[in-house]
A = this chain, B = another copy of it.
Amino acid sequence: MSDAPIFDQEFRSRLRDLVAWRRDVRRFRRDALAPEQIGRLLDLACLAPSVGLSQPWRFVLVESAERRAAVRADFARCNAAALSAQAPERRGLYARLKLAGLDDAPCQLAVFADPAGRQGGGLGRHTMPETGEYSAVMAAHTLWLAARAEGIGMGWVSILDPAAVAAILDVPREWRLIGYFCLGYPEEADDTPALERAGWERRRPPADFVLRR
């Protein structure tokens, strides 16, 4: 098609910067995001790949103070349990990590996958139904990159009980929680993950993850 874009070296270099400087943000400024900004991010997320063009993603903007407090309480419960499950020698370090920006992030977004939606006619999901959830993951990841390109940080909170979150948000029973996300302007930018800076873990080189067969 004649108007297909061609991406040049300059764009690829900036795309690499975007991927390298995307972070899981846990420290947010409280400045609100504009509704049209959030709308733009959701628009782009809905262009993510989806199995059979099923678009199984469901986005829940969590605005109620009561519901936010309930999610915050669930995080506190789950994080206390996760702390106890850590090996004793790691517990002190774990306790010092900041693992969620739920107190400050001005925007909170839960992403679900709806496995019961009829869109897509089941194509591609016969042997691997989990591709529905994977599609919702790619929508969340698209939103993450789009946010970073606007200078907005995003953090993925997975230290939650999915059933509790679904109940708090009063969503259809069959929806499956993919992740709970905090969005807002980050307090700082960095190209090194917070967990690496905190001494929790370090990244391995790509060669460690590639096999040939």
Other-chain contact of A206, B19, B43, B126, B128 (Cβ < 8 Å): B43
A145 to B11, CA, bound (A): 12
A58 to B54, CA, bound (A): 26
A59 to B160, CA, bound (A): 29
Interface size classification for chain A: 35 or more
A123 to B24, CA, bound (A): 13
Chain B residue with the shortest CB-CB distance to A169: B213
A30 interface residue per 8 A CB criterion: no
Other-chain contact of A49, B21, B22, B121 (Cβ < 8 Å): B22
Per-residue interface assignment for chain A, residues 125 to 163, with 1 indicating a CB less than 8 Å from any chain B CB and 0 otherwise: 111101101100110011011101111000010111110
A85 interface residue per 8 A CB criterion: yes
A98 interface residue per 8 A CB criterion: no
Per-residue interface assignment for chain A, residues 40 to 74, with 1 indicating a CB less than 8 Å from any chain B CB and 0 otherwise: 00111111110111110111111110010000000
Contacts of A209 in B (CB 8 A): 42, 46, 55, 57-59
Chain B residue with the shortest CB-CB distance to A138: B141
A70 to B125, CA, bound (A): 21
A115 interface residue per 8 A CB criterion: no
Given contacts A127-B162, A200-B53, is CB(A1)–CB(B189) below 8 Å? yes
